[in-house]
Structure 1
Amino acid sequence: MQLKQKAVALMALLLLGSAELQAQNKKLELSVEKIMRDPKWIGTSPSNVFWSEDGKKIYFYWNPEGNRQDSLYSVSADGKNIQKVSAQERRSLPSQRGEYNRAETKKVYEKNGDIFLYDIRSGKAQQVTNTVERESSPAFSHNEQKVIYTKDGNLFAWGIDNGQTVQLTDFKKGRKPADEAKDPQREWLKQQQLTLLQIVRDRKLDKDAAEKQQKLDAPHRPKEIYTEDKTVSNITLGPGERFITYQLITRPKNAKIALVPDFVTESGYTEDINTRTKVGDAQSKYEFFVYDTQRDSAYTVLMNDVAGITEQPVYLQQQKKASASPADAKPQKATPRETVIYGPYWSANGKHAVVVARSQDNKDRWIMKLDPATAKLTVLDRQRDEAWINGPGIGYGPGDMGWMPDNEHVWFHSEESGYSHLYTVNVNSGQKKALTSGKYEVSDVRLSDDEKYFYFTANKVHPGEKHFYRMPAGGGEMVQLTSLKGAHEVELSPDEKNLAIRYSYSNKPWELYVMDNKKGAKVKQVTHSLTDEFKSYDWRDPEVITFKAKDGANVNARLYRPENPTQNGPAVVFVHGAGYLQNAHRWWSSYFREYMFHNFLADQGYTVLDIDYRGSAGYGRDVRTGIYQFMGGKDLSDHVDGAKLLVDKYNVDPKRIGIYGGSYGGFITLMAMFTEPDVFAAGAALRSVTDWAHYNHGYTSNILNTPYTDSTAYAKSSPIYYAEGLKGALLICHGMVDTNVHFQDVVRLTQRLIELGKENWELAVYPVEDHGFTEPASWTDEYKRIYKLFEENLKDQK
């Protein structure tokens, strides 16, 4: 009997093990509900990777246990000994941000509003400040004997050896007090008193003598500089500590901030959220100054004589020419355009200073040598784009340019060739040299510590791949250090002997890897983040294809196909958002939910096309600016051409094509449904811009200029003007607390559709969602509606 019970128990265990094994081997069946769960069901990829200051550990945020939040983990440089970092160790770590001395033996940084000096060899931090007020922007003085930082809008210096703190500037809000001597009535009374009364004369002599002696005895104080109602920014101490540069910002008083009402609140009352101005509203004005401490004088650096400063954009010149009358033939005085000056960036020997300037109409960027003693600017490079200046690495901070070891050349990015490449320019002769060239883009540039090499990322192999390269500082052979197909985000170790890499592929989320800093070195995977459930599905590796647009341009796209496609089957075209973004690539997409949804659609018999339309990143200047003055032009025609490709090559029924996307993708969806109603039978527009005149200034003015200077561009580009063209089925989804694309956008469009008598549309609202949805319930509801839209309008309903 006992043996029989044991046999039964053993059989039960075998059956249970077999069932568990079958469950593990069973392929996940996708559904909207499963896809749109909390992303932790996938597994949490490592993020925010950085090295310890001594290079012995790699730190990263990770969540293998599926907790509510990620935790800090560490692993040794060889990829071994992964462990969660203790709270005590985490609190003791220096900030990732900060500045190093030239030997990289010390680091200064801000943490919790105070300044710290970290000795890398000993691993010990010294607290420089400990105050209630916030100290920020720490840096070493040029001679590295002091720590420079800002507090309450002023610049301070702390002596490393003596611990003495000195205030270097004395900026004061408001206007300088009026000088009574300038008032004639008061001056007359004063002189009368001095003339009539001896006691007044005697006391004045005593007072003047005391003030004179006090000035002789007192230490030097910085000049009082009154800023009125302007904001001080970017205060910088130059080498030799003679020149201090700073920026004054005048905020517009009449700018109108849009409010977004929040209906679901803790208080139970509707609460307004302050967001932003709308494009074309009054903008801040910027002035750049030099304070010469030797002369105790402050003066403005003016752009008035800089080449091209008065050159108006072509679109304004054309407008002026079109509306010109005989009275306009009289020469007009050219007005300098508004600009912003960034820097200065000093050479290591302290002899040269360079600044970067941007015109506020977005058409020009200048790199200029600055003589701080005279405030004279000498142009070293001018990049002008009649669309707008942008592109990888084309920024204005210290990481976007730098000095070469000879202290005579500056490196920087430019799209002069049509692609963002690396250049140098001689600050004395102005001679410029391209270090990289070709139909690819360079980004994330840095010089090696010995200044013999450049390290950077480039998509030279394919627009949809990112690899890490090393190249001699003077130009030459680009050595590709990474080899896996996909994308690599690389952090060099402090000694530059090892690479910490976040790597992913189209169907493989990001994981942490390590390798030696050598070509062909073995790559070792450190983290294994994916859940068994996620791995149980055979995620598609979408084809990255290229097709010709009607104007002859090459367009890249991702293609998802059913395992057994039917003749004249349905198709969906996905439109990525963000405008300047890339999604037809070979790495794990930030649109990972949409990627999974596309796998689900393919399982249901849909062919899915995901296009990098005109305006997308990764393909150079012409693609980037292809939407200038007309969003909904070439970017939309690329999708129409993509739909034609589906019909001509992939057996798709031309009457069964849908389109969807969010943000910019939602905008394109609306334009498609309103202006190409015979191409797309159904569309889902998510968090869509419906009228560009209501979007923000920074993004929109680049592409469409401003509504009052280029109203035609706004009318051509805004879906609300085309709503009458709607024929197919339209789903609109929008978060009610969207602080980016305001809910007002779809409210206005809704009213327009009502007034036009349109019936084949619906609006789904999400009361607690901002621009990027966060709640799984919202994602699920939204995508169930999208799937239902496609099923009802694209599938054969027999």
Structure 2
Amino acid sequence: MRRTLFAGLAALATLPAAAVSPPSSVGQLDLETIMANPDWIGVAVEQPYWSADGHSLYYSLKREGSKVRDLYRVDPAGGQSVKLDPAAMAQAEGPAVYDRAHRHAAYVMHGDIFMIDLSSGRRVQVTRSSAPESAPRFSSDGRSLQYRQGNDWFVYDLASGVSGPAAVLRFSDDPQEKKPDPLKDMQLGLFKSLRENKSDKDAARENDDAMMAADPGRAPKPIYLGDGGEPADTELSPDGRWMVVVTKPKGAKEGKRPEVTHYVTESGYAEQQETRVYVGHNDPAPQSLVLVDLKAAKFYPLKTDGLPGIKDDPLKGIRAKTVAALQKDGKADEAKALKAPDVRAVRIISSADDGGGGGIVWSDDGQNVAIQLRAIDNKDRWIASVDFDKHALVNQDRLTDNAWINWNFNDFGWLKDGRTLWYLSEDTGYSQLYTKPLGGKAKALTTGKFEVSHPALSDDGQWFYMRTNQVAPYSYDVYRVPSAGGELTRLTQYQGMDDFALSPDGRQLAVLHSSPYTLAQLAVQSVDGGTPRELTNTMKPAFTAHAWIQPKIVGVPSSHGAGTIWAKYYGPADEAAAASRPAVIFVHGAGYLQNVTLSYSNYFREQMFHNLLVQQGYVVLDMDYRASEGYGRAWRTAIYRQMGHPELEDLLDGKAWLVKNHGVDPQRVGMYGGSYGGFMTLMSLLRAPGEFAAGSALRPVTDWTSYNHEYTSNILNDPQLDPESYQISSPINYADKLQDPLLMQHGLIDDNVLTSDTIRLYQRFIELHKNNFWMSLYPMERHGFQHPDSWYDEYRRIDELFNTYVKPAKQ
């Protein structure tokens, strides 16, 4: 999740973005400028990738005054960038994949598959269809190109230029399957004509089978998988022999979806939009695995009941407590519904759901496959291989967590030998990289109290390249380690490295990097280190000319044994001038997000607002409280079953640090934040009344029973099973404690955190006869605001709140 004083809607006359004058290097900041259309700042370089031949780099830039992205090509040797017009776009390439001999490359462009002969440069368009194709991959023998359209796989033969389905799967019973049928037998026995008709049909079918066996140019016959399920995902083996199919129950119901109302519409009529299901209102549908032998046209269920721990109940203690309470209240049916399953249900994360590349990965030669399974209760992750002779899963790694398995750091794959797995795991408390031979022991390639992510295996299989924060939690760069084990070596020195792409020849890195006031830029560097060559500069002079306050990264000691809470501090250049100033604490959103880094922030508007606050006489602290990303598993899971509690402890420690180290008046500290930051603003004011002079909660969660399943059930379990965790974690249950001025702001068409969250809490305050609370609603905004007028109005109200209730010294 991410992202005046008067209730209701306000129509404000604001300058249009084009008329806003950016601040000079010595001028004063103003809200109209910093909340204007951010095109005046510049544009970030997005999605860089190498051309198929490795001679060029492509990247995207947002077009000024539009959301359209333009594609650029740059020569990494000379640094000249060219914007591609529509004609040049037609000849452009997408991110490429290669055959094992590097004779051919394939890529997706505008939803179609293309192939290039790397020796001649000849390009072939493989598909031209209205339905998008994806996931191109060369077969293990290099003779064909595989790709998918939805859950259907196709094979393009390089020699003939013919494309056809790799398999035809039917999720129904085989109509030709012989089943005992006494009535049918009686009919055939009585009527000669029926026997003759059946004989003709049988002969025709046998002839078709013979013709198909002798003619590989024909489309394959359907394979019938039964009518009990429907496809959720499919993965074809590179040798074309096998397919792993993920199924889910047919017609599984998701539960009722709440709606949001669009009041300002082109039609002039209010319009309804469905959103997402509340947590606990139908858990995600369990999934099953089927191994399909395409050569023999047979299929085999891959049972999960042999996975280690699959029959355990990690929620046993919570379950027993809740069941006992329900039975005591005479709710026997509800208690019975909470019975633990004999075998826990699982899901297989698809490539569309997870940044780690999906839940099924084949070795290059197609001889092995690894499948990542997750328990629906979020407590276990398994990586299993398949025994093709026994048609069975073989566990290779189990990661278990009493709280929940991370949604990050789940990347996995195969080394070039096709017999050794590699994967990320938080087993030690931090995401590290491991290898494991099938049947052998796991080996850690990296160790330490830092996070490893974005692992990329070089084409020669000798190196892993990765992003880590080994130097400091807030500092990220590219590192590499030998795939056989060895020293972890730092390659870049940016400290604000955001992403990278290895060149096709394995000799260069394309690096996206940024800094607190510089949007992501593209550079190229040798994989052996050395001086990078900067390829882009997309910042606007009006922005870079301003003397922005560099955030000072500081360590706030935890008074609750949590160690160091890292934060960004904004204050005057003269530290003595900070004494007795009022302060504002900013709380980032998403919960699991890292905002204290040396990269460009997602909260760039807020960072400019912090500059404005310092200009107005405040100091500002922006903290990575517990649950934030980048600090290991214990930091992430500290909030399990108690959201808003450890985080509040950290925020109060931040306030104490400001008082002790900068002489801030403890009675003049305000707070604000959006989404999870809005939730924490509410928890701070309601659970620690009197600690903060005022707070603004933007698009906040006020009751976790109204949020979605995917996020919430990880941390609080299901509300039916664990009502206590929802009770203590939801601000609405502390509404009676409100005593400090509170401004709530919400987009009316927010389909992430629904506006009903804010409205329901507002009604509670009304019924409790509370004072000094306000609500501001924005008819045209979703969770992340889009319109400069709304951004301006939102922050004008926050600024007025702080200037009214935080800035003045208490009398």
With normalisation by structure 2, the TM-score equals 0.88
CA contact (8 A) 1:256 1:281 kept: yes
Q: Closer, same or farther in 2 for the Cα pair 1:498/1:111, shift >3 Å?
A: closer
1:116 and 2:132 equivalent?
no
Q: Closer, same or farther in 2 for the Cα pair 1:482/1:138, shift >3 Å?
A: closer
CA distance in 1 between partners of 2:24 and 2:805 (Å): 35
Residue 16 (structure 1) aligns with: none
Residue 256 (structure 2) aligns with: 256
Residue 347 (structure 2) aligns with: 340
Out of 413, 419, 425, the position equivalent to 1:414 is 425
Which range moved further: 564-573 or 26-35? 564-573
Q: CA deviation at 1:688?
A: 0.6
Out of 124, 127, 132, the position equivalent to 2:125 is 127
CA contact (8 A) 2:739 2:771 kept: no
Q: Closer, same or farther in 2 for the Cα pair 1:214/1:42, shift >3 Å?
A: closer
1:307 and 2:308 equivalent?
yes
CA contact (8 A) 1:58 1:74 kept: yes
CA distance in 2 between partners of 1:680 and 1:276 (Å): 34
CA contact (8 A) 2:463 2:481 kept: yes
The Cα offsets for residues 220-266 of structure 1, whole Å up to 9 and x where unpaired, read as 84343256474324322335433222111235225212211111111
CA distance in 2 between partners of 1:114 and 1:59 (Å): 18
Out of 81, 98, 104, the position equivalent to 1:106 is 104
Out of 523, 526, 539, the position equivalent to 1:513 is 523
Residue 44 (structure 1) aligns with: 43
Residue 686 (structure 1) aligns with: 698
CA contact (8 A) 2:610 2:620 kept: yes
1:436 and 2:446 equivalent?
yes
SS in 2 for 1:703: helix
Superposed, 1:216-255 pairs within 5 Å as: 216-219=210-213, 221-225=220-224, 228=227, 230-238=229-237, 240-250=239-249, 251-253=251-253, 255=255
The Cα offsets for residues 704-725 of structure 1, whole Å up to 9 and x where unpaired, read as 1111111110111111111111
Q: CA deviation at 1:128?
A: 1.9
CA contact (8 A) 2:76 2:535 kept: no
SS in 2 for 1:522: strand
SS in 1 for 2:629: coil
Q: Which amino acid aligns with 2:394?
A: T
1:596 and 2:608 equivalent?
yes
Higher RCO structure (Cα 8 Å, ≥6 apart): 2
Superposed, 1:438-457 pairs within 5 Å as: 438-457=448-467
CA distance in 1 between partners of 2:635 and 2:701 (Å): 21
Residue 623 (structure 2) aligns with: 611
CA distance in 2 between partners of 1:217 and 1:678 (Å): 84
Q: Closer, same or farther in 2 for the Cα pair 1:635/1:773, shift >3 Å?
A: same
Residue 72 (structure 2) aligns with: 73
Q: Which amino acid aligns with 1:388?
A: W
Q: CA deviation at 1:790?
A: 0.2
CA contact (8 A) 2:639 2:645 kept: yes
The Cα offsets for residues 558-584 of structure 1, whole Å up to 9 and x where unpaired, read as 111134535432110000001110111
CA contact (8 A) 2:168 2:223 kept: yes
Q: CA deviation at 1:78?
A: 2.1
Superposed, 1:137-148 pairs within 5 Å as: 137-148=135-146
Residue 536 (structure 1) aligns with: 545
Which range moved further: 502-511 or 378-387? 502-511
CA distance in 1 between partners of 2:290 and 2:381 (Å): 19
Residue 167 (structure 1) aligns with: 165
Superposed, 1:323-722 pairs within 5 Å as: 335-341=342-348, 343-390=359-406, 392-394=408-410, 400-429=411-440, 431-519=441-529, 521-553=530-562, 554-563=564-573, 565=577, 567-722=579-734
Q: Which amino acid aligns with 2:546?
A: Y
1:740 and 2:739 equivalent?
no
CA contact (8 A) 2:100 2:140 kept: no
CA contact (8 A) 1:180 1:187 kept: no
Residue 189 (structure 2) aligns with: 191
Q: Closer, same or farther in 2 for the Cα pair 1:447/1:187, shift >3 Å?
A: same
CA distance in 1 between partners of 2:702 and 2:104 (Å): 52
CA distance in 2 between partners of 1:64 and 1:216 (Å): 59
Q: CA deviation at 1:499?
A: 2.6
Q: Which amino acid aligns with 1:381?
A: D
CA distance in 2 between partners of 1:26 and 1:345 (Å): 53
SS in 2 for 1:367: strand
SS in 2 for 1:461: strand
Q: CA deviation at 1:529?
A: 2.6
CA contact (8 A) 2:578 2:662 kept: no
CA distance in 2 between partners of 1:652 and 1:503 (Å): 35
CA contact (8 A) 1:43 1:66 kept: no
Q: CA deviation at 1:644?
A: 1.4
Out of 749, 756, 764, the position equivalent to 2:776 is 764
CA distance in 1 between partners of 2:398 and 2:501 (Å): 32
**C-alpha root-mean-square deviation of aligned residues, in Å?**
2.7
Q: CA deviation at 1:698?
A: 0.8
Q: CA deviation at 1:468?
A: 0.7
CA distance in 1 between partners of 2:346 and 2:464 (Å): 31
Q: CA deviation at 1:643?
A: 1.0
Give unpaired runs (5+ residues) of structure 1: 1-22, 395-399
Q: CA deviation at 1:79?
A: 4.4
CA contact (8 A) 2:42 2:538 kept: yes
CA contact (8 A) 2:578 2:619 kept: no
CA contact (8 A) 2:479 2:489 kept: yes
Q: Which amino acid aligns with 2:304?
A: M
Q: Closer, same or farther in 2 for the Cα pair 1:100/1:681, shift >3 Å?
A: same
CA contact (8 A) 2:671 2:681 kept: yes
Residue 85 (structure 1) aligns with: 84
SS in 1 for 2:470: coil
Which range moved further: 711-720 or 99-108? 99-108
CA contact (8 A) 2:166 2:240 kept: no
Q: CA deviation at 1:376?
A: 1.4
Q: Closer, same or farther in 2 for the Cα pair 1:407/1:217, shift >3 Å?
A: closer
CA contact (8 A) 1:141 1:237 kept: no
CA distance in 1 between partners of 2:196 and 2:504 (Å): 70
CA distance in 2 between partners of 1:355 and 1:424 (Å): 15
Q: CA deviation at 1:586?
A: 1.5
Q: CA deviation at 1:472?
A: 1.5
Aligned length, in residue pairs: 760
Residue 6 (structure 1) aligns with: none
Q: Which amino acid aligns with 1:216?
A: A
SS in 2 for 1:702: helix
Q: Which amino acid aligns with 2:470?
A: K
Q: Which amino acid aligns with 1:631?
A: M
Q: Closer, same or farther in 2 for the Cα pair 1:670/1:288, shift >3 Å?
A: same
Counting aligned pairs with the same residue, the percent is 38
CA distance in 1 between partners of 2:237 and 2:62 (Å): 44
CA distance in 1 between partners of 2:207 and 2:103 (Å): 45
CA contact (8 A) 1:79 1:514 kept: no
CA contact (8 A) 1:79 1:513 kept: no
Q: Which amino acid aligns with 1:158?
A: Y
Which range moved further: 151-160 or 412-421? 151-160
SS in 1 for 2:268: coil
Q: Closer, same or farther in 2 for the Cα pair 1:254/1:645, shift >3 Å?
A: closer
SS in 1 for 2:90: helix
CA distance in 2 between partners of 1:153 and 1:612 (Å): 40
CA distance in 2 between partners of 1:616 and 1:68 (Å): 30
